[in-house]
Structure 1
């Protein structure tokens, strides 16, 4: 989606990109030393789709104590070195005020970055501030995004790891007049699923998605079963799809595609693409109207709702004689397809377009 908000890292300069000297002023080439690990980590972050904004306080810049000419040379050297490694800044924002002036543009104030505060200006859950001082963390809090401090949160490689390699988890609460659903997923854990929907056979089927998908899944639903099963089945699919979508993030490094599964006389075939584009095709017919308290007609509806909320292309076909076997084969096969598609398979986004959402 071309209108997606960018992931932005607001990066401090002195003490974060360049080692800060004792006098806290980098006004000569001989004071210029890059912070170890910064280039490699920034390269990883840029490759992962982050945009960079430099935000720096430069006390008294432009005054006789710190002339512009003394700043420009080391600053341009920094930008040239990073650009040579493919690391460029969307913006470079410098505040020249002194602490005693209490200027709103001086970090931790947000005067320089007000254009990032509006709706859609940045992806808040994945954007962050990186700096070496408590004021950088306060700046992050004022922006309403994550703050990472060089030193207390580790060095540059550790910072990149925290941003890129964190566990893929999500929690979703979905509350309507018809259902109340709470769901947790962890794509990098294989704890046995815990499912409570009030429909025993449906619990068993959703459990198959977690077991065969090899991801942790907890789902509880209180639905209007006194009316019928439709709302519970549909809303569980929508909540699960949303949770999987959020846990996948930008889908970097996933296998993306994925399965054929026989179960006794039944055969389910699934083709799945975590493309970000929802589409669902179903082929099959069930002989029984229901298995347990789960109406058979709601099985394709479940997978259609899941595909819509997840942003996945799913083609599912099933044939057989025993409806129980056929439905279970569908859920197991989709779980196995998800296992292949969500597994980490490198660090690139698996798309020639460079994005999947």
Structure 2
């Protein structure tokens, strides 16, 4: 589903020109500060279609002849296009306010084609300088980014209760840098939920890939919880994992199914893979131990495991289950993982493995400010 930025022209891309507000000569064209620079970054780094929506009062009448409008408008578009800023569609309403036309913002008469399953309006935005732009967002089911110097909530007949505005407006600003930074921030903040239920276990996991490393882990195995908390903390992935398993039998199903479910939700979270580094590698020393993890999020499952444990269990976790955890994760996350650990203390070995694994994941999912798929084949 496509996400859209519905962008106003006058007052948002170019500055308005009172008292007539008609941009009908080249002398009146002044771009909003930094708009070209930050729109270029939005186009290059983020995944939005750009759609221009503008009211041009009385366009085509004697007061505003089209011959005065189109050369200027096309000139603006040409400048934007030279910087890679292209609008997939442009909607211009020519009515005057007194006509109360359904096509005039905040009316949606020009935009009914976007109420289609191809478009993700709930995650789209209207960017504009007037309350009519805010109300357009409300009418479309989008969110509003309100860009202007003075954010006055009582503009003529379009005044609505402040509490309703708060539900629609996600950002009030007077500069495009804040718009870009906000859109980039939320593009990383994606909460994903997944549940896997069998006759042996019930696993519920919520993750946010680009988080703060916060976790709430409950599997019934304290040492396993500790390792998963380390995974969350050092990868900076917010992670809630609640597993109810048949521990009355043994630990196998709980650990295996947690790994499978974690791999599934991780794969689901990065399935696009555009703009990520793809590869991750990290070594962690921990007293007598040194653990190295190298991984590739390339879509193929493989585990190379080079470590041995002397103890049968650490806490209540059988050491034979650690290779099984990573094998299950590799299979469901569709990634290559190579793990090598040396040392004498088994606790230090597995903890350093999980920490190195976390740091390798953090490196592999890092965004690199492009929208390219990290493969020369063009497919992962």
1:159 CA drift (Å): 0.9
1:150 CA drift (Å): 0.8
Rounded to whole Å, the distance in 2 between the matches of 1:9 and 1:353 is: 30
Which of 171, 191, 194 aligns to 1:174? It is 194
Rounded to whole Å, the distance in 1 between the matches of 2:41 and 2:332 is: 30
Rounded to whole Å, the distance in 1 between the matches of 2:254 and 2:139 is: 41
2:240 aligned partner:
219
1:303 CA drift (Å): 3.1
1:154 aligned partner:
174
* Root-mean-square deviation (Å): 3.8
1:223 CA drift (Å): 1.2
Gaps of at least 5 residues in structure 1 are: none
Which of 132, 135, 149 aligns to 1:135? It is 132
Partner-residue secondary structure (3-state), 2:127: strand
Is the contact made by 2:290 and 2:341 (CA closer than 8 Å) also made in structure 1? Answer: yes
Deviates more, 1:18-27 or 1:322-331: 322-331
Deviations 1:38-65 (A, max 9, x none): 1111111111144322121223322333
Is the contact made by 1:223 and 1:232 (CA closer than 8 Å) also made in structure 2? Answer: no
Rounded to whole Å, the distance in 1 between the matches of 2:333 and 2:23 is: 49
Give aligned pairs, total: 348
Which of 37, 44, 61 aligns to 1:40? It is 37
- 1:25 matches 2:22: yes
Is the contact made by 2:243 and 2:254 (CA closer than 8 Å) also made in structure 1? Answer: no
- 1:279 matches 2:301: yes
Q: Is the alpha carbon distance of 1:170 and 1:88 closer, same or farther for their aligned partners in structure 2, counting shifts above 3 Å?
A: closer
1:340 aligned partner:
363
Q: Is the alpha carbon distance of 1:354 and 1:163 closer, same or farther for their aligned partners in structure 2, counting shifts above 3 Å?
A: farther
Is the contact made by 2:13 and 2:31 (CA closer than 8 Å) also made in structure 1? Answer: yes
1:90 aligned partner:
88
- 1:302 matches 2:325: yes
Q: Is the alpha carbon distance of 1:250 and 1:176 closer, same or farther for their aligned partners in structure 2, counting shifts above 3 Å?
A: closer
Partner-residue secondary structure (3-state), 2:136: helix
Is the contact made by 1:201 and 1:293 (CA closer than 8 Å) also made in structure 2? Answer: yes
Partner-residue secondary structure (3-state), 2:110: helix
1:78 CA drift (Å): 0.5
Q: Is the alpha carbon distance of 1:232 and 1:269 closer, same or farther for their aligned partners in structure 2, counting shifts above 3 Å?
A: closer
1:10 aligned partner:
6
Aligned 1:70-109 pairs, distance under 5 A: 70-109=68-107
Partner-residue secondary structure (3-state), 1:54: strand
1:97 CA drift (Å): 3.2
Gaps of at least 5 residues in structure 2 are: 149-171
Deviates more, 1:151-160 or 1:326-335: 326-335
With normalisation by structure 1, the TM-score equals: 0.78
Is the contact made by 1:19 and 1:35 (CA closer than 8 Å) also made in structure 2? Answer: yes
Partner-residue secondary structure (3-state), 1:258: strand
With normalisation by structure 2, the TM-score equals: 0.74
- 1:238 matches 2:261: yes
Rounded to whole Å, the distance in 1 between the matches of 2:331 and 2:130 is: 44
Is the contact made by 1:185 and 1:243 (CA closer than 8 Å) also made in structure 2? Answer: no
2:351 aligned partner:
328
Partner-residue secondary structure (3-state), 2:59: coil
Q: Is the alpha carbon distance of 1:253 and 1:133 closer, same or farther for their aligned partners in structure 2, counting shifts above 3 Å?
A: farther
Partner-residue secondary structure (3-state), 1:56: strand
Is the contact made by 1:251 and 1:356 (CA closer than 8 Å) also made in structure 2? Answer: no
Q: Is the alpha carbon distance of 1:204 and 1:173 closer, same or farther for their aligned partners in structure 2, counting shifts above 3 Å?
A: same
1:36 CA drift (Å): 1.4
- 1:270 matches 2:293: yes
Q: Is the alpha carbon distance of 1:29 and 1:353 closer, same or farther for their aligned partners in structure 2, counting shifts above 3 Å?
A: farther
Is the contact made by 1:60 and 1:98 (CA closer than 8 Å) also made in structure 2? Answer: yes
Rounded to whole Å, the distance in 2 between the matches of 1:6 and 1:278 is: 28
Q: Is the alpha carbon distance of 1:98 and 1:86 closer, same or farther for their aligned partners in structure 2, counting shifts above 3 Å?
A: same
Is the contact made by 1:248 and 1:342 (CA closer than 8 Å) also made in structure 2? Answer: no
Deviates more, 1:202-211 or 1:105-114: 105-114
1:196 aligned partner:
218
